[in-house]
A and B are shown apart, each in its own frame.
Chain A
Amino acid sequence: MMNKLIFGRYIPGDSVIHHMDPRAKLLLSFYFIGIIFIANNWLTYLLLFAFTFLAITLSGVKWSFFINGVKPLIWLILFTVVLQILFSASGGHVYWHWGIITISQLGLINGAYIFCRFVLIIFMSTLLTLTTPPLELSDAIEYILMPLKAVHFPVYEVALMLSIALRFVPTLMDETEKIMNAQRARGVDFGEGNIFQQMRAVVPLLIPLFVSSFNRAEDLATAMEARGYQGGEGRSKFRILKWHARDSWATVSFAVLTAALIFLRA
């Protein structure tokens, strides 16, 4: 099931978006999620969608990836939309002149807006993760957190933990799969029986996973020390982030988009 999730994966490619600076991509994606809330009529949403489609086309990633990215979350989206339709205009109250049905015109429009927001946010963040390798993302986060050093926030340590965690996600997934198979071969039924049986079946999976994580952490720490790691301070960098003209252009386009949104806002 985990394998079907596209959201959060990276697909190597060779496009303008792929080559953008990860800092720009990360910040602009967050910025985009922010300005979605400026939109409050059909024209503004149309503009946002057009902008997103343009970005996706530029990335050269297949459309099906984005549709597949929305699919696992569709129930969550529909649940929220339905709640919005049923309760928004009435504010939780049942208006007597609407009868038992609490659906109002305003509620329907709000529901549609919410749906658009979800889809836009998922598309944009899927675009971010599909076109940015995890390690670049963690570099970008390290850079963005840098100002926090002034308040003694351990930026290097957090960045290191982040990049190690990201690096070991696939390894741990493989390990999980392997141990699951090994226990299945010994007669464990995962995901069958009542809730207590299912919980008990997880024990032979969780304990070996924790144990192997401890062992791995110990080995990794030893290997890092042996290679002269003494802490984040005073290290040079192998991957150096470069801000290109395309990143400036991307920023400008977002500024134009914001201006247009504010102009078109009702």
Chain B
Amino acid sequence: MAITFKQVDFTYQPGTPFETKALTDINLTIPDGSYTALIGHTGSGKSTLLQHLNALLKPTSGTVTIGERVITPETSNKDLKKLRQHVGIVFQFPESQLFEETVAKDIAFGPQNFGVSEADALKTAAEMLDLVGLDQSLLDRSPFDLSGGQMRRVAIAGVLAMQPRVLVLDEPTAGLDPQGRLDMMEMFAKLRRERDLTVVLVTHQMDDVANYADHVIVMDQGRVVKTGAPREIFKDPQWLVAHQLGLPKTTAFAQQLIDRGWQFDRMPLTEDELAADLIAQLPATAFGGAPTDDE
């Protein structure tokens, strides 16, 4: 399901003394099946934009097209539910949205709101638990007994249980340990492959952008300042610094090498790419050649 923004403006509390403009003239497309990363400095309007993706907020002017549905400032709040089923949003720290007595009931809550019978929803809940890598024994536990990482997985399972076609993730790995972070990012990549999802990821982790995304949208002060493939975005370190963003570790390292006279045909994004490029450039003697004097 593709999502298109056309000349979207958004203002909080319009017509009051506390009016603040959050989005200005947003034009962008999130292609069907893409893994889009939305990056930008804190307060650049990422989270506001994200809430337009399933019509939690409606534009003050302009249009948002979500699949077939067109959202304009005049769109009524009725029957937006269908839309919300197709676009699942995992908000920041989603563990704070858990409320049911058991994990199973909480995961089944979303589907039941969309008319799935209780028995079917509970069956889906059990499947979702496997998907997010939790043990079936947790199904009857209270969500408040779980650890922080487990709670987050349950919350994500609750969103996935609605079978969305677009999955929107707002900093899903914030506050997780490195292993949990890696597991979770791998889980999303796997889900995307298996279920043919469109993924939108809001993140400050440039490594994740480099490793997973195929489309990047850069925001600054409520405007989209650049869109393109990650390689294009990370090509220009000065520009990124000017917009208060950083480089992925790999690219930063490659940049240091470039400053010392190395050359790369393409900007390496992942560790594998960097390693391959480096090996190709090393003199043949470095591998299995005769031992050098200073050894």
Interface residues of A (CB under 8 A from B): 3-4, 6, 9, 11, 62, 64-65, 68, 175, 178-179, 181-189, 203-204, 207-208, 211-212
Contacts and interface: CB of A to CB of B under 8 A. Distances in A.
- Interface hub of A4, A186, A204, A208 (most chain B Cβ within 10 A): A186
Contacts of B87: 185
- Most chain A C-beta atoms within 10 Å of own C-beta, residue among B17, B91, B92, B114: B17
A203 B100 CA distance: 9
Interface size class of B (residues with CB under 8 A): 20 to 34
Interface in B1-26: 12-13, 16-18
A207 B96 CA distance: 10
Contact of A188 (B16, B18, B51, B113): B113
A207 B109 CA distance: 14
B56 interface: yes
Contacts of A183: 97
B18 A185 contact: no
Nearest to B16: A4
Given A186-B113, A187-B85, A181 B51 contact: yes
6 contacts: A68-B16, A182-B89, A187-B81, A189-B81, A204-B97, A208-B97
Interface string B66-104: 000000000000000100110111011010111100000
B54 interface: yes
- Considering residues B12, B91, B158, which has the most beta carbons from chain A within 10 angstroms of its beta carbon? B91
A241 B135 CA distance: 58
Q: Closest 3 A-B residue pairs measured CB to CB? A: A187-B113, A207-B99, A182-B97
Given A3-B13, A3-B16, 6 more contacts: A179-B96, A179-B97, A181-B56, A186-B158, A208-B97, A212-B96
A208 B98 contact: yes
Nearest to B15: A4
B126 interface: no
Contact of B114 (A178, A182, A187): A187
A207 B91 CA distance: 18
Contact of B17 (A11, A175, A211, A212): A11
Interface of B: 12-13, 16-18, 51, 54, 56, 81, 84-85, 87-89, 91-92, 94, 96-99, 109-110, 113-114, 144, 158-159, 162
Interface hub of B13, B94, B96, B159 (most chain A Cβ within 10 A): B96
Given A3-B13, A65-B17, A186-B110, A208 B94 contact: no
B47 to A, nearest CB: 10
Contacts, number: 71
Contacts of B159: 185-186
Contact of A64 (B17, B91, B113, B158): B17
B96 A208 contact: yes
B158 A204 contact: no
Contact of A185 (B91, B96, B99, B144): B91
A186 B162 contact: yes
B96 A184 contact: no
A65 B84 CA distance: 37
Given A181-B91, A211-B144, A186 B16 contact: no
Given A4-B16, A187-B81, A182 B94 contact: yes
B13 A4 contact: yes
Contacts of B96: 175, 178-179, 182, 208, 211-212
A175 B159 CA distance: 19
Q: Which of A9, A182, A204 has the most CB of B within 10 A?
A: A182
B91 A204 contact: no
Given A178-B91, A187-B113, A208-B98, A6 B17 contact: yes
A186 B97 contact: yes
Contacts of A62: 17
Nearest to A184: B56
A6 B51 CA distance: 25
B85 to A, nearest CB: 7
A68 B51 CA distance: 28
B117 to A, nearest CB: 15
Contacts of B17: 6, 11, 62, 64-65, 68
Contacts of A186: 84, 97, 109-110, 113, 158-159, 162
Nearest to A65: B17
A204 B54 contact: no
